[in-house]
Amino acid sequence: MVGLFRPLLDLKGNKMKKYVLAIIVLLMFATDAFAHTSAFDIEWWSQATYSNQPGNTLKKWAEGMEGRVGNLGTGNIYYVDSGVANEGDGSSWANAKDTLNEAIDLCTADNGDVIYVAQGHSETMGDAADEVDIDVSGVTIIGCGEGLLRPTFDYTATTTGAFAIGADDITIINLRFHANVTDVNEAIEIEAGSEQVSIIGCLFDVESEGTDEFLECIDSSGGAGSDRLSVIGCEFYMGAGACNAAICTKDSDYSVFKDNVTFGDYAVACIYNTTQSNHILIENNRLFNGTIGGNAGLNSEPGIELAATTTGIISNNFIACNLATKAASVVAADCYLFENYYNEDESSAGTGGIIGTASADD
């Protein structure tokens, strides 16, 4: 076993990731090494449809977390599939629950339970609040499938809190949130005091650009104390609608917004907070604020706008919008900026420039 891990000492970057992933996959098949409730002991092979999913899901987890990889959970495993022939007890793909909420109701708080949601799963988010109510702490939800085959939550009403997170230590991976009407209040509402929520590799998109949108895609601005929120590797495509922000928070200390891509005409900013947050990290995001249409399509609102007393580090972000100065594209009076770039000119004639001036060395 020591020999198996010795090569890690000489590996870096992608080679390290690939080696670690290979070890994880190898261990998946050593079934006697894990208890029957382990997240690795999953019936991936019970249906041919899902036969390609173990490597894909582990790869998304490892790459999306970027060094924050942990145990998927050692509690019970439940399955969700809207296309199941006969809904069962959620214990296998063949006996899956047909809604996510039903599977959440099966979970035990702080037990490390995992819910797998099938490729092609679909739920309509209608007129009722809490149609999905993640109110059991310590649950991880993992969507199967690539692209638009990811499990989809289709919003057909403007209801507040249709998909609500009201518990601590929640992780959501690889789900799709789809706005099918105008002015949907939010895709995900994080309720006051829900800490250590991670949203990883999810897609937020619209049915008709310029008509449909989420006002906020991820919103924790309704209450304070949602600390340690992580939004990592997500894609936000809001088009020319009336979206206020891709990510909107309030008093979310130690939060991390990293490796996200936003395209949309955001009325406030791509990333926005309303109240002082301490020690946040905004890193390596691609933030486009505007619409298709060349330079004229760029919005005159910033990429990042934080409350004046919010503290933290903002680094290596690339921002396209149209403001009077580069510095105006990041509104963050009490944060430290490192190597952020701004561009308001299309084509190779405008390659962008660094935001701000060099700090003193004393």
- HSE-CB at 24 with a 13 A cutoff on CA atoms is 20
Closest CA to 303 of 261, 345, 252, 348: 261
Our CA dihedral for 195, 283, 221, 304, rounded to 10 degrees, sits at 170
Q: Which residue range is the domain that position 218 belongs to?
A: 182-357
- Cβ neighbours around 62 below 10 Å, total: 17
Closest CA to 344 of 282, 281, 302: 302
State the pLDDT at residue 346: 87
What is the spatial distance between Cα 268 and Cα 105, in angstroms, rounded to a whole number? 37
Per the CB < 8 A criterion, the answer to whether 187 and 218 are in contact is yes
Mind listing the pLDDT tens digit for each residue in 82-103?
999 999 999 999 999 999 999 9
* pTM of the predicted model as reported, rounded to 2 decimal places: 0.82
Q: Which amino acid is at 123?
A: E
Flag whether 318 is in a domain: yes
Mind listing the pLDDT tens digit for each residue in 307-355?
999 999 999 999 999 999 999 999 999 999 999 999 999 887 778 899 9
Collect the ranges in the chain with pLDDT lower than 50: 1-9, 20, 23-55, 57-70
Q: Structurally, how many domains does the chain consist of?
A: 1
Looking up residue 242, the CATH number of its domain turns out to be 2.160.20.10
CA distances from 332 to 73, 274, 283, 305 (A): 37, 12, 14, 6
Flag whether 348 is in a domain: yes
What is the spatial distance between Cα 245 and Cα 303, in angstroms, rounded to a whole number? 9
Flag whether 267 is in a domain: yes
Flag whether 245 is in a domain: yes
Closest CA to 238 of 259, 207, 268: 207
- What residues does 312 pair with on adjacent strands? 280, 335
Strand order in the sheet with 152-155: 122-125, 152-155, 176-179, 203-206, 235-239, 261-264, 286-289, 318-320, 341-343, 353-354
Tokens representing 329 are 């594209």
Q: What is the mean pLDDT of the chain?
A: 84
Flag whether 311 is in a domain: yes
| Radius of gyration from C-alpha coordinates of the chain | 21
Flag whether 335 is in a domain: yes
Tokens representing 231 are 């939004």
Flag whether 313 is in a domain: yes
What is the spatial distance between Cα 230 and Cα 143, in angstroms, rounded to a whole number? 18
Flag whether 17 is in a domain: no
